[in-house]
Amino acid sequence: MDWEVWGNRLLWTGLTLGVAYGAGLLVTLFVSRLVHLAAKTSGEWDDIIVSELRRRVPFWMLLVGVWYALQHWDLAAETHLLVVRALVIVAGLSASWTAATIISRLIRVYSSGVSSAVPVTGLTQNVARILVMALGCMIILNEVGVEITPLLTVLGVGGLAVGLALQDPLSNLFSGLFISLSGQIRVGDFVELEDGRAGHVVDFDWRSTRLQLLPNNVVIVPNNRLAQAIVTNYNLPQQEMSVLVAVGVDYASDLAHVERVTTEVAAEVLREVEGGVATFEPLIRFNAFADSSINFNVILRGRQFTDQFLLKHEFIKRLHARYATEGISIPFPIRTLAARDPIPVVAVERAPKE
C-alpha cells in the first residue's frame, strides 16, 4: 500500500470538503442578508423560502464537495456509479424535504387568511408533506434508473392488502381528511358533542381530534366517530352568539317600567363588560305567567361562546342592584293553595250478622 498516495488523496479530499463547506457558510451569510431584506417586504412567502434555504445550503455544498472529491480516488466504474447515485438520492431527499417544509409553511400562513381555503390542521400539513415527498421520491427513482411503473403496480396490490388489514386506522385517516376539508369543524372552533362535552378544537391528526374542555382537560375523539356524531359548532356561521338570561318579576310590577330598566342595564353591560357586543340592542320577551312571577328572557349578545359566563355574571349583579333601587320586586317562589271545607262523613248502620 502506497501511504504517500493515500495521504495525498485524503489531504485533497479534506481540502475539497473544507472548501465546499466554507463556501456553503459564505453562501449562508449572503442568504442571511436576504432574510433581512425579505423581512421588509409585505408578503411572507419570501421569508419562508429564504429561511429554509439558509438551513440547507451548507449541507448541499458539502454534497457538492463530496462529488468533486471523487476525482481524487481511483474507483471502479461500478463503485463510482453507486456513490454518485447515493449522492443523487441524498440530495434529492433533502431537496424534497425542503420543498415539503416550504409548502407546509406556506399553507399554514396563507390559508389562515383566506376564508375559502383548505382549513389548516396538522393532518392537512402532513398530507401536503407526504405528497411532495412521494413526488420527490418518484423523481429520484427515475433519475437513478429505477422503473416506476412496475413499482406502482406492486404498491397498488400491496396497498389493497394493507387497506384491508388496516381498516380502522384508514377509516380514522380519511374521516379526519373529510372533517378538515369540509370546513364544518375547524381548529379553534368551540364545539359541543352529542354527549354534552364541549371545548375548543386543538388539532386533527391521522387518528383523532383533540378537544380542550373549559376545565382545561383534553378529550381525544377518534375521527371516524366524530364524523358520524351530531356536533354543535358555536363558531358557525359566525362567532357571535345570543346569550339568554331568564328573569321573573312580581305580578304587581309595571311591566313597561320593568322592560325599560332591564334594557338599560343590559345595554350598559354590553358596552362595559369584555366580550359584549356594544352595538347590539338587547331584547326583552315576556313568556309566562308563572306560579309566583311574570317570567321573561333577556337576550344579550356575546362575541364568542365563553363570553356568556362573564356577561351573565355582571348582568345579574347589576340588574339585582338596579331593581332594588327602582323598587322592582323579584318574588320568592310562592304557590297559593285553596282549602275546601271537609266533606261530612255519614255513618252507615250495618245489619247484624246472623
pLDDT at site 301 = 94
If one counts the domains in the chain, the total is 3
Please check whether residues 263 and 163 belong to one and the same domain.
no
Average pLDDT over residues 130-142: 74
Among residues 167, 188, 222, the one where a domain terminates is 167
| Residue 341 belongs to a domain | no
| Residue 354 belongs to a domain | no
pLDDT at site 36 = 61
Please check whether residues 301 and 163 belong to one and the same domain.
no
What confidence tens digit (pLDDT) does each residue in 173-209 have? 777 777 777 778 888 889 998 888 899 988 877 788 8
pLDDT at site 278 = 92
| Residue 172 belongs to a domain | no
- Among 168-177, 205-214, 279-288, which stretch is predicted with the lowest mean pLDDT? 168-177
Please check whether residues 142 and 7 belong to one and the same domain.
yes
pLDDT at site 246 = 94
What confidence tens digit (pLDDT) does each residue in 222-267 have? 888 888 888 889 888 888 999 999 999 999 999 999 999 999 999 9
C-alpha cell, 183: 370546513
| CATH code of the domain containing 265 | 3.30.70.100
pLDDT at site 104 = 75
Please check whether residues 71 and 189 belong to one and the same domain.
no
| pLDDT higher than 90, residue 96 | no
| Residue 93 belongs to a domain | yes
Of residues 113 and 95, more confidence is placed in 95
Please check whether residues 202 and 127 belong to one and the same domain.
no
Please check whether residues 186 and 318 belong to one and the same domain.
no
Query: What value does the mean pLDDT of the chain take?
Result: 78
| Residue 295 belongs to a domain | yes
Please check whether residues 131 and 17 belong to one and the same domain.
yes
Please check whether residues 21 and 132 belong to one and the same domain.
yes
Please check whether residues 297 and 183 belong to one and the same domain.
no
Please check whether residues 303 and 276 belong to one and the same domain.
yes
Range of the domain at 209: 177-233
Neighbours of 301 (CB within 10 A): 22
Please check whether residues 49 and 112 belong to one and the same domain.
yes
Average pLDDT over residues 273-285: 93
